[in-house]
Amino acid sequence: MLAELGLNSVDVLFDHIPEYCRLQRPLSIPTGRSEAEIIAWFQQAARDNAPGFTSFLGAGAYQHFRPTHLDQLISRGEWFTAYTPYQPEISQGTLQAIFEFQTMICQLTGQEVANAGMYDGSTALLEACMMAARVTGRSGIVVARSVHPQYREVLSTLTKPREFPIAEAGFTPDGRLDLAALKAAVTAETAAVAVQSPNFFGTIEDWEAAAAIAHAQGALLVAVIAEPVSLGLLPAPAAADIVAMELQGFGIPVGFGGPYAGIIASREKFLRSLPGRLVGEARDSDGKRGFVLTLSTREQHIRREKATSNICTNQALCALMASIFMATYGRQGLRELAQQNLSKAAYLASACQKAGLEVLFPAPRFHEFVVRLRRPLAEIEARLHQEKIIPGLSLQRYYPELGNALLVCATETIPRAGLDRLAALLSEV
Amino acid sequence: MLAELGLNSVDVLFDHIPEYCRLQRPLSIPTGRSEAEIIAWFQQAARDNAPGFTSFLGAGAYQHFRPTHLDQLISRGEWFTAYTPYQPEISQGTLQAIFEFQTMICQLTGQEVANAGMYDGSTALLEACMMAARVTGRSGIVVARSVHPQYREVLSTLTKPREFPIAEAGFTPDGRLDLAALKAAVTAETAAVAVQSPNFFGTIEDWEAAAAIAHAQGALLVAVIAEPVSLGLLPAPAAADIVAMELQGFGIPVGFGGPYAGIIASREKFLRSLPGRLVGEARDSDGKRGFVLTLSTREQHIRREKATSNICTNQALCALMASIFMATYGRQGLRELAQQNLSKAAYLASACQKAGLEVLFPAPRFHEFVVRLRRPLAEIEARLHQEKIIPGLSLQRYYPELGNALLVCATETIPRAGLDRLAALLSEV
Amino acid sequence: MAEINDNLSRPAGTRASRHLVQNEDLLFEVSSPGKRGYQLPDLDVPEAPLAAARADIPDFPELSELEVVRHFTRLSTWNYGVDTGIYPLGSCTMKYNARVNEHVTRIEGLGDGHPLQPESLSRGALRIMRLLSDYLLEITGMDAITLQPAAGAQGELTGILLVRSALAARGDRRRKVLIPDSAHGTNPATAAIAGYQVENLKSNPDGTVDMSSLDRQMTGDVAALMLTNPNTLGIFEEDIHRIADLVHERGGMLYMDGANMNALVGRARPGDFGVDVMHLNLHKTFSTPHGGGGPGAGPVAVKRELEPFLPIPVLTQKATLDYDRPQSIGRVRAFYGNFGMFTRALAYIMANGSDGLKQTTEDAVLNANYIRKKLEGHYTLPFATPSMHEVVFSDAQQAQHGVHTGDIAKRLIDYGFHPYTVSFPLVVRGALMIEPTESANRQEMDEFIAALRAIAEEARTQPELVTGAPYTTKIRRLDEVAAARQPVLRWKPKS
Amino acid sequence: MAEINDNLSRPAGTRASRHLVQNEDLLFEVSSPGKRGYQLPDLDVPEAPLAAARADIPDFPELSELEVVRHFTRLSTWNYGVDTGIYPLGSCTMKYNARVNEHVTRIEGLGDGHPLQPESLSRGALRIMRLLSDYLLEITGMDAITLQPAAGAQGELTGILLVRSALAARGDRRRKVLIPDSAHGTNPATAAIAGYQVENLKSNPDGTVDMSSLDRQMTGDVAALMLTNPNTLGIFEEDIHRIADLVHERGGMLYMDGANMNALVGRARPGDFGVDVMHLNLHKTFSTPHGGGGPGAGPVAVKRELEPFLPIPVLTQKATLDYDRPQSIGRVRAFYGNFGMFTRALAYIMANGSDGLKQTTEDAVLNANYIRKKLEGHYTLPFATPSMHEVVFSDAQQAQHGVHTGDIAKRLIDYGFHPYTVSFPLVVRGALMIEPTESANRQEMDEFIAALRAIAEEARTQPELVTGAPYTTKIRRLDEVAAARQPVLRWKPKS
Ligand SMILES: Cc1ncc(COP(=O)(O)O)c(C=O)c1O
Ligand SMILES: Cc1ncc(COP(=O)(O)O)c(C=O)c1O
């Protein structure tokens, strides 16, 4: 091929790069290794984590059974080695799947439109608030303190340059958003009121009440959902104006925090303000139904600095996992799954109480709850790790006001014996 | 659907089964279990085997690195959920793959034709001998004692009803077939002379010499190959009349002994006597090249009791694994792979010798060899298992004449340290 | 012709569309010198010499890893599997292959276990074999089992050898095996390989064993009757009790080809109706994947009398391996058989459980009867006898227009379906053998029925449309006769 | 038309055939009441009540497991991926996605690790992040890095926020960001979201930064120049040194969009030519799969001055997590970013090594230049400047016949190829942006070239053939305008 280009060395193709830019030595990286060696290296790395542990961590990343056909399906090259469906005629698979995805998200959330996905729940919250600002022409954000702390951090980081004023509304002793505080915080300058349910403590919030407060001031309610499985049982956030949801719980591996997928769902009237990709129905020249990327005049590749968001690559394959998961569990299965999660956590909470531990926040909850430890987690952790147990998340960093509080999550993956064991161990140590 | 059939219960569809035949109780099998429980059950079973052990077992089942894309490719539904390509127009994938497989087997073995596969090496040997009997009109079989003992057992079991006389030819102290004994055993009644190389002890045989002896009496030489990887380096058995080969070494999981795949390759002139399926080139009504199952007048579904074999379902997916493996390693890679196996075994053998152990059979070998232990394996095994090592196969059962002999295999998968460790441990215990 | 290609070839409103697929030449044609698809770790010991190494493997393929992936991905897109759609290949039981079965088979410690590792380090594998054996015995009602045979046909051979040995132990040597004309080809082929003369047994007008022929032919020289039940017409042999009694009275044994056991699981057990020995096809009844033609597994279950003759090693009740079986016929295959199929079949049984297994049987039988009902009249039903898990029609009506079962099958492809089994069983002239299995859903069955009805209509009104099919495939109808006349069985470099 | 459909639509001797694919309706249309695809273990604790539970999820799908498998298998067959064939989507770097990368990502202990598990139980994961960080720093020549951003665009936003903080720390608040007209849309969108005014910078006739414009526009109010290098025309900014100097002299910072880093790896390092901050797209340069539109990952590498502002937590040299970073901009994403992409990218780097990475760069550039050479003349090359990893043509010649880049793209589909990037970058009217990557082999590139040449010929002689394409696909050209006018964005039950 070099010959056909009339070159005697590939170096010539780099000659126009100025001399001082060129790297004059090999990269200081070992030479190529074999597949077997690479696998062995990663296996060792995996062993240096916590394989085989029973974990009660949740806090925005939830362990659920992943049907085996899920990975098998997404591993088809036609799914995972394709890119954004710019050419609909040879991307109908991806496009139809996204259309179905958008529909299922609408069905779950009670909203009218949903986009093809955002990076994750935390950035979805940001995008939702920015969208609310576009829609309302305001910039104030009121966020419940019971929203995932890392989501709030992201919101704060990414709104700082545009100086969106952010106010926080606290929570009551029953673990729910303090509606009075919220009411006080929402003003005529407020664009978005962001509330999470189940909230970070696992407690279930009242969408209608929050919506009423937001709407009374002309603000939009942004419903944050960090655990999509909850929607199998909890009422749809139909009262919200925008839903910002994390989908990890729908079959996406916990995988040290990513890749996950977020979505934004909203009302039809706000459609033109939605961030991210949208797939719509179309007809081909023979009149057949097909699907295309649509309304892209909202997006960066057309609208550039006036786009509704800068997002380009999203998390399509994770959204596909979520679709397969939703289709697999389906109408009944999702309810049963949610019911199992609810029941496991209820059982564990009561086991903890029986074992003499204080469970904070009496309001109804989904699959997480907060328990107060007698001593800081740091002091008892080693003992629990010996037993191959990760008991949950210490709330010290994010909610120092709660003392030695531990956020515990129990999903369908933990058999009763595991729940009993945790309660027993926590009361011992 | 019942209604459309005018039935009020599905039981009606079983009414014509005589009462006494009908099972009147539920099967005594637990009710259906969830995927998660099934996986947990098998994981426990797996732990009760020897995960994480370093094994020096070979003896017809060889550990090699399996490129990760291999399993990913065969896991496509179009491959593993299809059946025998009876309908060529929607089975061109399977058919072309088999045609390529047949070609690669011919290239490797130096034979002119190869079939689409048999069950495994042991049954391929049987089929080869029966084929030789058809071709020669004789029934005597002479088999080297250095052929895999289980292959010989299968041969004996399955030829017994037709009373094929089987004679064995022993081996010399250098670990090779005793050619003089072979010569003595082969007569004008001999249909097949079966010789394995590398033989069961890992020693390399001389195809030409064996062929000369067989041909001198009008018998056919059946070349048995239990380790296809050896063909990356060893001469093709072009002198043989029929090749009966096990393909497990080509990317098929060791998996407790199966499924594997065998093949039969031979000379064009014996084509009509070949057992098993064959794929051939064909043209469609537009003149395009395609592939079909062909020469099926040899087979049971057409020829019934006159068929060349009773085989129907073979091991197609395993043959596909072998094809992908061969295509992946290719012309150079297969040689390098064989060279690594050869070198590892040579290193280990000499390490054993240096450690003061007696290595039997000085003739050139591939990746297996026989070492004499100071004590029976049964006495020292526990200690080695503690070290998570399976040192090889005791030859006590099959070759009591060799004393405390251990058949050891070293493939490319074992790093030098592992080889050194075995030698050290064997000399200690 | 253009018109046929364009419109008629893609019947509107069906499952079928045409879409772009990639052409792909043979491996050898896409190969280029110096490429390889895999890298080995550097050799960490001295390279050993080998005097008589081969020079090369001329023309062996040379591809990059991506080229390998593309090659086998592209080829796969020309295939049709159960994952693609309904696959009503009669006698083959093309049911869903659950992914969890694949998953458990590959778990570390199972997929990579060595068959010769010590029993003490194989407890889990042996437990799997034991539990599967127990479940299969419960399902069949038999007394003992071997999992060793690699497929149905090898199961048959094993079973017939067991019969031979058992009769020999009685001091009885017989020369014949009786086989109904509706039997699968492997039955006579097996009997012949086992050294028996095959004697054909004619079916009666109901499609079942003709009792008077049996009475006549079941002589003292017949070792066994090889019976498929339900038989290949999908018909349960209602006289099974009398058949078994007759065979036993005359000193023979009843072999049951269990390929159609999926019609009986949970509803009837061969052990309860006089069967002495039978095989199962794990790749049919127990959903291990067909893999483009295998691997399968063909366990053989027997009554007590035959147990001493089972192949070694025998798995004991305690899940240990017993090699000390003086009366054993010996080994029929190296190691323990297709172990990877055992894990899959066991996972299948566990997932279904007693309730699910029975339901599966019922659904399979219901589906077949639904198709039968909806196609009756459109196609000729040669036997009025009730159907179980499959139904066999004949092309008698269509043949009048020069359209045969093979043509109808090709035309079905244009409607988006894998054809049924063509021209088998041989007792039905121009057979269409349809087995939907429990996996077929109502919607797709209705579409399949509509397609077959439409083809029946086409056969009447435009027979050449049917005989020219398929039109929608990458490769049109292939000339199999020419292919067999001048067989080209391997690629060769252009010289 | 029939003729077009039949013959011309499938150009002979190309990659393309048409074959049967299955139609498949929407999940909701194939759903039937009562089905479900998954079974849970029996609940082993008392069922807890929930007062305000929702009644139902109306119209949510109900499918069996097989139906789910078939649905998503069928849909997939209408797609085209790197595994299908050459995918020369310019700017997207559609290279081979090795399966081993997928494998290691799913190993137990990695794929199922929780982001909040204690550091003492995350050593392996942290080591992976550290090693990847080190390799990326070595490759870019930068000083510090964050792996947190989820994709390129988020990397850009992170980078611009770092610039803002760093300038603020200098006491310097600026209002503008300068962006060349050839830039990707995410660049201006990012700058706007970061609160900056976007100012457009025109390209010179070579397709690179116009130095005099830069000199004029690079005022004291400009925080950064966002430059892509090589730029989206595939051209290396040869004046990079002067550009960097000028930006720095005026107190601004140089942001590099590293989407095209695959043209430089092992041959040039942004850290050596004046870049202050840059992002990488792991899904481009480092082969993590594109997944139908993501996930990606957009690490941001910086020079020392910007390090204090990196998002928390910062991974220390010892592979621990540092949250105590008072100057940090804060978090840009929950947890640590798209960890699963880190494992894949790291495996890619390990497999290639220093030698392979350089070779990869060279092959990518060589391939692009080969295509350029072979298509020059057939298509108009707007810039004579040397190309690196991609080449951009314009449809100027074809447009005279009413054939535009979008038409040529659709026609390429009929030849069996995924099109190039259409109509980007905007500086070229009617752009055809072609990036073969190192994964394209010679044979397929030649076929691709032949196809584009043939289409150029068709555009001259039969333009309506090209404007009517594609013909070979299941769905023909879709009316995107109508779709946007009356958007239907979800399925609804027929009322
Ligand atoms: C009725 C019947 N018997 C026997 C067999 C042979 O089984 P196998 O193909 O597993 O060898 C088959 C397989 O098609 C069959 O349908
Ligand atoms: C030049 C360039 N910059 C930025 C981006 C945005 O990257 P991402 O899609 O990862 O957000 C792209 C992606 O297409 C690109 O090509």
User: Tens digit of pLDDT for each residue in C148-165?
Assistant: 999 999 999 999 999 999
**Coil, helix or strand at residue C394:** strand
Which H or E element spans position B35? helix B35-47
Residue of C nearest to B294 (CA): C484
- CA-D257 nearest atom, ligand 2: 3
Q: Sign of the CA dihedral B367, B370, B375, B381?
A: positive
B233–C40 C-beta distance less than 8 A: no
* Contacts A290 to D, Cβ<8 Å: 475, 478
* Contacts D420 to A, Cβ<8 Å: none
**What is the rounded CA–CA span in Å between residue A251 and residue A70?**
8
B32–D73 C-beta distance less than 8 A: no
Q: Is D91 close to ligand 2, i.e. is its CB under 6 Å away?
A: yes
Report whether pLDDT(D4) > 60: no
Q: Is D257 close to ligand 2, i.e. is its CB under 6 Å away?
A: yes
Q: Is D228 close to ligand 2, i.e. is its CB under 6 Å away?
A: yes
CB D24 within 8 A of CB C86: no
| Average pLDDT, integer, range D74-102 | 97
Report whether pLDDT(D2) > 50: no
What does the DSSP assignment read for C143-167? SEEE---SSHHHHHHHHHHHHHHHH
The number of the ligand nearest the C-alpha atom of D282 reads 2
B35–A65 C-beta distance less than 8 A: yes
pLDDT for D10: 60
Q: Which of B152, B176, B179 is nearest to B166 (CA)?
A: B152
Which residue has the least CA distance to atom 9 on ligand 2?
A313
- What contacts B146, CB < 8 A, 6 or more positions away? B171, B175, B176, B177, B195, B196, B199, B200, B201, B203, B205
- Ligand 1 pocket: which of C89, C281, C338, C388 to mutate (most atoms <8 Å of CB)? C281
Q: Which amino acid is residue B147, in one-letter code?
A: V
Determine contact: D359 vs chain C, CB below 8 A.
no
User: D157 to each of A125, A199, A309, how far by Cα in Å?
Assistant: 16, 28, 11
Q: What is the distance in A from the centroid of ligand 1 to the CA of C281?
A: 7
3-state helix, strand, coil in chain C (%, to 5): 40, 10, 50
User: Tens digit of pLDDT for each residue in D108-166?
Assistant: 999 999 999 999 999 999 999 999 999 999 999 999 999 999 999 999 999 999 999 99
DSSP letter assigned to residue B246: E
3-state helix, strand, coil in chain D (%, to 5): 40, 10, 50
**Coil, helix or strand at residue D61:** coil
Which H or E element spans position B180? helix B179-185
pLDDT for C13: 65
Q: Mind telling me how many Å the CA of D373 is from chain A's nearest CA?
A: 7
Q: Which residue has the tokens 């039949």?
A: D6
**Percent of chain C scored above 90 by pLDDT?**
96
User: B333 to each of A32, B169, D349, how far by Cα in Å?
Assistant: 16, 35, 22
Bridge partners of A370?
A: A407
Q: Is A216 close to ligand 2, i.e. is its CB under 6 Å away?
A: no
- What contacts A51, CB < 8 A, 6 or more positions away? D108, D109, D112
The number of the ligand nearest the C-alpha atom of C233 reads 1
* Contacts B335 to C, Cβ<8 Å: 56-57
User: Tens digit of pLDDT for each residue in D304-316?
Assistant: 999 999 999 999 9
B330–C60 C-beta distance less than 8 A: yes
The number of the ligand nearest the C-alpha atom of D232 reads 2
User: A235 to each of A110, C317, D50, D249, how far by Cα in Å?
Assistant: 9, 54, 11, 58
Q: What is the distance in A from the centroid of ligand 2 to the CA of D391?
A: 17
Residue of B nearest to D98 (CA): B69
Determine contact: C69 vs chain A, CB below 8 A.
yes
Beta strands in D193-332 (DSSP E): 197-201, 222-228, 253-257, 277-279, 300-302, 314-315, 321-322
pLDDT for C238: 94
D103–B35 C-beta distance less than 8 A: no
Which residue has the least CA distance to atom 7 on ligand 2?
D152
CB proximity under 8 Å: C 16-35 to D = 16-23, 30, 32
Instruction: Show the tokens assigned to A360.
Output: 């904070």
Which residue has the least CA distance to atom 5 on ligand 2?
D152
CB nearest A76 (choices: D76, D353, D413): D76
Determine which of B1, B31, B34 to mutate to test the interface with D (most D C-beta atoms within 10 Å).
Answer: B34
3-state helix, strand, coil in chain B (%, to 5): 45, 15, 40
Q: What is the distance in A from the centroid of ligand 2 to the CA of D226?
A: 13
pLDDT for C68: 98
**Coil, helix or strand at residue D433:** strand
Q: Which of D224, D227, D299 is nearest to D256 (CA)?
A: D227
User: Tens digit of pLDDT for each residue in C453-471?
Assistant: 999 999 999 999 999 999 9
Confidence category of residue C3, pLDDT binned at 50, 70, 90? very low
D2–C443 C-beta distance less than 8 A: no
**What is the rounded CA–CA span in Å between residue D123 and residue D126?**
5
Angle between helices B416-428 and B316-354 (to 10 degrees): 60
Confidence category of residue D5, pLDDT binned at 50, 70, 90? very low
Q: Which amino acid is residue B400, in one-letter code?
A: P
Residues C367, C368, C374, C380: what is their CA dihedral angle, to the nearest 10 degrees? 170
Beta strands in B98-183 (DSSP E): 113-114, 140-144, 166-169
Q: Mind telling me how many Å the CA of C168 is from chain A's nearest CA?
A: 50
Confidence category of residue C274, pLDDT binned at 50, 70, 90? very high
Helix residue spans in C120-232 (DSSP H): 123-140, 152-169, 186-193, 211-217
CB proximity under 8 Å: D 9-28 to A = 24, 26-28
Q: What is the distance in A from the centroid of ligand 2 to the CA of D297?
A: 10
Angle between helices D123-140 and D339-375 (to 10 degrees): 30
**What is the rounded CA–CA span in Å between residue D440 and residue D417?**
12
Cross-sheet strand order for the sheet of D431-434: D391-394, D431-434, D421-422
CB nearest B68 (choices: D39, D42, D99): D99
* Chains contacting C (3 or more CB pairs within 8 Å): A, B, D
D19–C17 C-beta distance less than 8 A: no
Which H or E element spans position C223? strand C222-228
- CA-D298 nearest atom, ligand 2: 10
Determine contact: D79 vs chain B, CB below 8 A.
no
Residue A208 burial (C-beta neighbours within 10 Å; 0-12, 13-18, 19+): middle
* Contacts B37 to A, Cβ<8 Å: none
Q: What angle do CA D308, D312, D317 make, to 5 degrees?
A: 70
* Contacts C351 to D, Cβ<8 Å: 39
Which residue has the least CA distance to atom 10 on ligand 1?
C152
Residues C379, C383, C385, C386: what is their CA dihedral angle, to the nearest 10 degrees? -30
* Contacts C64 to D, Cβ<8 Å: 441
Instruction: Show the tokens assigned to C61.
Output: 């393929």
Residue B180's Cα: distance from chain center in Å?
28
**Coil, helix or strand at residue B122:** helix
User: Phi and psi (nearest 5°) for C465?
Assistant: -65, -40
**Coil, helix or strand at residue B132:** helix
Q: Which of B186, B195, B184 is nearest to B165 (CA)?
A: B186
The number of the ligand nearest the C-alpha atom of D92 reads 2
Q: What is the distance in A from the centroid of ligand 1 to the CA of C234?
A: 14
pLDDT tens for chain B, 429 residues long, are 899 999 999 999 999 999 999 999 999 999 999 999 999 999 999 999 988 999 999 999 999 999 999 999 999 999 999 999 999 999 999 999 999 999 999 999 999 999 999 999 999 999 999 999 999 999 999 999 999 999 999 999 999 999 999 999 999 999 999 999 999 999 999 999 999 999 999 999 999 999 999 999 999 999 999 999 999 999 999 999 999 999 999 999 999 999 999 999 999 999 999 999 999 999 999 999 999 999 998 888 888 999 999 999 999 999 999 999 999 999 999 999 999 999 999 999 999 999 999 999 999 999 999 999 999 999 999 999 999 999 999 999 999 999 999 999 999 999 999 999 999 999 988
Strands C321-322 and C391-394: what pairing?
unpaired
Residue C1 burial (C-beta neighbours within 10 Å; 0-12, 13-18, 19+): exposed
User: Tens digit of pLDDT for each residue in C404-413?
Assistant: 999 999 999 9
Report whether pLDDT(D7) > 70: no
Q: Is C296 close to ligand 1, i.e. is its CB under 6 Å away?
A: yes
Helix residue spans in B64-113 (DSSP H): 68-74, 77-80, 92-109
pLDDT for C4: 44
* Contacts D1 to A, Cβ<8 Å: none
For chain A, 429 residues long, the average pLDDT of each consecutive 10-residue run is: 93 94 96 97 96 96 98 98 97 98 98 98 98 97 98 97 95 97 98 98 98 98 98 97 98 97 98 97 96 93 91 97 98 97 98 96 97 94 96 96 97 98 93
- Ligand 1 pocket: which of C87, C89, C91 to mutate (most atoms <8 Å of CB)? C91
Report whether pLDDT(D3) > 50: no
C83–D73 C-beta distance less than 8 A: yes
Q: How many CB pairs under 8 A join B and D?
A: 26
**What is the rounded CA–CA span in Å between residue A81 and residue A75?**
9
**Coil, helix or strand at residue B290:** strand
This model of the complex carries an ipTM of 0.97
CB B288 within 8 A of CB C475: yes
Determine which of D18, D20, D39 to mutate to test the interface with B (most B C-beta atoms within 10 Å).
Answer: D39
CB nearest C61 (choices: B78, B231, B330): B330
**Coil, helix or strand at residue A340:** helix
Q: What is the distance in A from the centroid of ligand 1 to the CA of B179?
A: 42
